[in-house]
């Protein structure tokens, strides 16, 4: 004996197992046990293949939407030069544009620990140079010989930056196109 729920969600009552199976076959569906622990066990008349397909589709959709923001790290020293700092920040900018968090770490060695203000100034410059695409999640904090802070992507700033980069690319392409047209006109005039 099993409690049966119809294909439309209506209660059909308690039926003998073979009667429930026959009823499901008459409708062209499967009899699926949904609550084996209840007394009597509960079964539902449904298209089991379609049910499994929809479950897999929901699972995939959940995975596709969820980009887990990973934590990337950029390391530097208190006296890192400007050009090296720009290179490191180019990587940090790329990480932020991809939606990842960035941990910026200043490493001290030996006597550099005496001049902690240099590392803090370096982190302040990082925040200033990354500007609108980053927000400080954890402010600078000393952890042994390391001074570090965590930056998170700022969605509005990233959208504006993406738009600006697209406009620059379009302008560069237009300039290249105009230069190509100018060369063709010069060649035509020379002939």
**What pLDDT does residue 182 have?**
64
**What pLDDT does residue 9 have?**
82
Q: 92: which residues sit within 8 A by CB, 6+ positions away?
A: 72, 74, 102, 104, 126, 130, 134, 151
**What pLDDT does residue 178 have?**
85
∠ CA(23), CA(19), CA(37), 5° rounding? 100
**What pLDDT does residue 164 have?**
85
**What pLDDT does residue 38 have?**
87
148 has which bridge partners?
A: 105, 141
- pLDDT score of 84 more than 90: yes
**What pLDDT does residue 184 have?**
62
Domains by residue range for the chain, with CATH: 2-65 (3.10.20.80), 71-153 (3.30.110.10)
Contact yes or no for 114/157 (Cβ under 8 A): no
pLDDT digits (tens, 9 = 90+) for 140-181: 999 999 999 999 988 888 888 888 888 988 998 988 888 877
**What pLDDT does residue 13 have?**
87
- Tokens found for residue 181: 């047209």
pLDDT digits (tens, 9 = 90+) for 89-138: 999 989 988 888 999 999 999 888 898 899 999 999 999 988 888 888 88
């Amino acid at each position: 004996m099993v409690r049966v729920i119809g294909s439309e969600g209506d209660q059909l009552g308690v039926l003998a197992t073979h009667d429930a199976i026959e009823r499901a076959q008459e409708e062209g569906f499967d009899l699926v046990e949904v609550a084996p622990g209840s007394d009597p066990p509960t079964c539902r008349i449904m298209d089991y293949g379609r049910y499994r397909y929809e479950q897999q589709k929901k699972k995939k959709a959940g995975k596709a939407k969820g980009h887990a923001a990973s934590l990337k790290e950029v390391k530097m020293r208190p006296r890192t030069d400007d050009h090296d700092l720009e290179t490191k920040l180019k990587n940090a900018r790329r990480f932020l544009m991809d939606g990842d968090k960035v941990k910026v770490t200043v490493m001290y060695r030996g006597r550099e620990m005496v001049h902690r203000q240099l590392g803090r100034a370096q982190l302040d410059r990082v925040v200033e140079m990354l500007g609108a695409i980053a927000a400080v999640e954890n402010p600078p904090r000393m952890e042994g010989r390391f001074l570090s802070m965590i930056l998170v992507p700022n969605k509005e700033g990233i959208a504006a930056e993406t738009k600006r980069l697209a406009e620059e690319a379009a302008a560069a392409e237009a300039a290249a196109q105009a230069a190509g047209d100018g060369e063709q006109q010069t060649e035509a005039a020379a002939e």
